[in-house]
Amino acid sequence: MILLVAILAGLAVGLFIARLKKRPWTVPPLHKPWLVIIAFLPQFFTLYLPGTRTWVKDDLAAAGLIVSLALLLVFCWFNRRLSGVWLLALGLACNLLVIAANGGFMPISPQTASRIVLPEILATYGNGDRFGTKDILLPPEQTRLIWLSDLFLPPKGFPYQVAFSPGDVFVAAGAFWLMLTQGKTLKATKIRMVKDRE
């Protein structure tokens, strides 16, 4: 949800700037977009689709998530020349690192989790239990690379409470930048500006 907002915000600002400059906005020219669909399939079946996620064992779901993230990193390599993709790749790499270091799921501390679910629900979970879609409930002393885990929260009283990682911040920033610049590099934009002047 929070990441989709980044795409929409990038699109809105990109459209606004394009209109100001009287230029058409074009979708970023992604290379091998089918690779994303293939990469997402393991997550779709093991984490999202209710019919299959219930009978998939945690080990298989963890392996599926890591394979999926690795394939997305390959997609980033094919699109490395598009602006914003390096931010997407950085965020993805951060999440992949912390997920791989903690048994295949994103760690979240009980303290952070207490802000996003009711205490009576949280009380039914123990250390090491899967929590939400991609998370695992782990106390800070048992978490590897804790500074890359889901440790950020919006201010108390904010209507939408969500735990997110530094990797998520980079992914959101990358998606925003990619949509804003339409994937064009700074160099390409400068060349275009010079041509426009001529």
Q: Where along the sequence are the contacts to another protein (CB under 8 A)?
A: 1-4, 6-7, 27-30, 33-34, 36-37, 39-40, 43, 68-69, 72, 75, 88, 91-92, 95, 99, 106, 108, 113, 116-117, 120-121, 124-125, 129, 131-135, 150, 160-165, 167-168, 171-172, 175, 178-179
Smaller CB separation from another protein, 8 or 193: 8
Q: In the numeric block, which tokens belong to residue 160?
A: 């939408």
Helix axes 34-43, 58-78, angle to 10 degrees: 170
Sheet containing 106-108: which strands, arranged edge to edge?
Answer: 106-108, 135-137, 130-131
Give the phi and the psi of residue 123 in degrees, each rounded to 5: -65, -20
Distance (Å, whole) CA 21 – CA 13: 12
Smaller CB separation from another protein, 131 or 184: 131
What's the closest the beta carbon of residue 52 comes to another protein, in angstroms? 15
Could you tell me if 193 and 26 are in contact, meaning their C-beta atoms sit under 8 angstroms apart? no
What's the closest the beta carbon of residue 65 comes to another protein, in angstroms? 9
What's the closest the beta carbon of residue 13 comes to another protein, in angstroms? 15
